Amino acid sequence: MKVQPMSTDTQRNPHYFDPAKFGITEIGQIQHRDTKDMTSTKFGVGFETLDRGMFYPEPCYPHLAKLGAKWARIQSGWSKCETEKGVYDFAWLDAIVDGLLDAGVMPWMSLCFGSKLYMDDPAYPSAVGYVPMYYGDEVIAAWDRYVQAVVEHFKDRVTYYEVWNEPNIENFWMPKGVNPVDYAKFVAMTAMSVRKKLPEATMIGGCVAAGGYATAFLEAAFEAGMAEHIDILTYHPYRDTPELSSDVEDKTLRQMCNKYKPSLRIWQGETGTPSIHGGHHDFLCENTTDITETTQAKWAIRRLVMDQRNDIEMTSYFHTADLDKATYYQSFGKPLKPVMMGLLNGADYSPKESYHAMRNVCNLFDEDTRLNHLFHAIHFNGQFGSEDKSCEAKFNMDYAAAITASFERKGYPLYTFWVPNIPVKTYDALNIELLIIPKATKEIDEPVLIDLLTGKVYRVNEYIKNETGVVWGNYVCQIPLTDYPLVVTDRKAL
């Protein structure tokens, strides 16, 4: 059944700061490159659900060619590939893989979901969440043949394969209920099928809902031998505030990987937030009536930058486009509301604010930028600049709770900072000073401020440099602190 697309045209909240209030001067924009021209593989996008026709892929490719994200997660869709036993039709999947590659994007494929040809109880034709291993030897053998056929067909174009989707929640692990030991067994049998046709395949596992909240499930799966069969662990940290538990989550996952297989890489494989009230994922936002394109864009760049701060190898935003072109079902067969989390508007495939914001992040945090822990601190009492320019604390939390992260770009230090308040609320920007201790390869002498939401670059007009280099550091004065990442670096780093 087709559903009427939802427009994402919403009134934008006034989250942008006024540069005139801070005495900073706009001097340009972040320069963007085409995706093909970039070599950084730090960012990806969701391109799932095409086995169910939830969005139109063709209008997405030109936008992905400009975005700068190098990865796209796709789903194999057993029910759509095999509609007659033993006969595989990959034409629809060929078009997706080739469309992504032509745009400069590398597809990684989730091998997931069951088949109505072999199972009589799935509530929906795509058999979302129904696991072949629970249906006897004939279905297990059919799954093995299918996986081998997929890998054989795509082995020259796709080399990264993930096993299943969110096995730690019941609606994606049917019909017997969540079981981490069984999931580990399923990973092992599926990885063996993949490597029969592509021994050098990179195998991906975990793909757990709620990320670090699934620690107990992952621990049990690792104890049952999952690590032996995978090269990358993925997790899906959906939540209303993107930074919530992120620090401890990433450290816990890394510690777990080190325990069972130190060479395991970690990808953040799926997470996002809505841009409009009334969709399936409203529950991700505290105050759903305040959801806008701007709140989505803020959320997205906060998550992307936070993952870079925590040294996550690749972070994926879900989804490329709103999912509103077919009724959304999960395994229980109950129709759900559209998923309005796309970077592109489902009504006409025009870019949302989140698309432009993510493009800014992809281009600034590219192959020329690397994590480098450089000390910097936020002050807001004007003690190092002019005291008459001190500001009032207008956030609903203390400034000391601000998140800071530092990197090096082209040898120059790159500092980012923001306050992790609830993204759907509106806050005035604070007037702050940023203390920096210049220990990167090169030192800042032409400081600029970058707004990742707009891509605008501003000249910083107040910069106090400690000439001795012994006591304290330098001070970037009269700059805003907002509830989304701003960046300070040298103009020559851009």
* 215-232 pLDDT, tens digit each: 999 999 999 999 999 999
pLDDT at 106: 98
Count of other CB atoms within 10 angstroms of residue 273: 29
Cβ(116)–Cβ(125) under 8 Å? yes
Using one digit for the tens of pLDDT, what is the confidence trace for 52-62?
A: 999 999 999 99
When pLDDT is averaged across residues 126-145 and rounded to a whole number, the result is 97
| E strand or H helix that includes residue 138 | helix 137-154
Cβ(45)–Cβ(67) under 8 Å? yes
Greater confidence (282 vs 300) lies with: 300
Q: CA-CA distance, 97 to 88, in Å (whole number)?
A: 16
400 pLDDT tier (thresholds 50, 70, 90): low
pLDDT at 4: 33
pLDDT of 387 higher than 90? no
SS3 318: coil
Q: Identify the weakest region by mean pLDDT among 120-129, 221-230, 426-435.
A: 426-435
pLDDT of 335 higher than 90? no
pLDDT of 16 higher than 90? no
pLDDT of 481 higher than 80? yes
| E strand or H helix that includes residue 415 | strand 412-418
CATH class as words, domain 369-493 = mainly beta
Closest CA to 458 of 31, 29, 32, 33: 29
pLDDT of 399 higher than 60? no
Structural Rg of the chain based on CA atoms: 23
pLDDT at 6: 37
Tell me the percentage of the chain whose pLDDT exceeds 90.
Answer: 76
When pLDDT is averaged across residues 352-365 and rounded to a whole number, the result is 97
The torsion defined by the Cα of 223, 224, 229 and 232, in degrees rounded to 10, comes to -40
Greater confidence (15 vs 209) lies with: 209
Q: Where exactly does CATH 2.60.40 map onto the chain? A: 369-493
SS3 163: strand
Q: Where exactly does CATH 3.20.20.80 map onto the chain? A: 34-364
Q: Identify the weakest region by mean pLDDT among 6-15, 178-187, 356-365.
A: 6-15
CATH 3.40.50.720 fits 34-364, yes or no: no
In degrees and rounded to multiples of 5, residue 143 shows phi and psi of -60, -45
Using one digit for the tens of pLDDT, what is the confidence trace for 231-287?
A: 999 999 999 999 999 999 999 999 999 999 999 999 999 999 999 888 887 777 766
Q: CA-CA distance, 217 to 235, in Å (whole number)?
A: 12
Closest CA to 105 of 35, 46, 166: 35
Tokens (6 digits) for 81: 């590939």
pLDDT of 37 higher than 90? yes
Greater confidence (5 vs 294) lies with: 294
pLDDT of 383 higher than 70? no
Among 198-202, 428-432, 434-438, name the most confident range: 198-202
Residues 6+ apart with CB under 8 A from 393: 380, 399, 430
Cβ(440)–Cβ(484) under 8 Å? no
Q: CA-CA distance, 447 to 466, in Å (whole number)?
A: 14
Cβ(263)–Cβ(230) under 8 Å? no
pLDDT at 337: 86
Using one digit for the tens of pLDDT, what is the confidence trace for 465-477?
A: 887 766 678 889 8
386 pLDDT tier (thresholds 50, 70, 90): low
Give the pairing of strands 232-236 and 202-209: parallel
pLDDT at 90: 98
Q: CA-CA distance, 362 to 345, in Å (whole number)?
A: 20
pLDDT at 401: 77
When pLDDT is averaged across residues 386-392 and rounded to a whole number, the result is 50
Tell the burial category of 138 from Cβ atoms under 10 Å away from its Cβ (0-12, 13-18, 19+): exposed
pLDDT at 471: 67
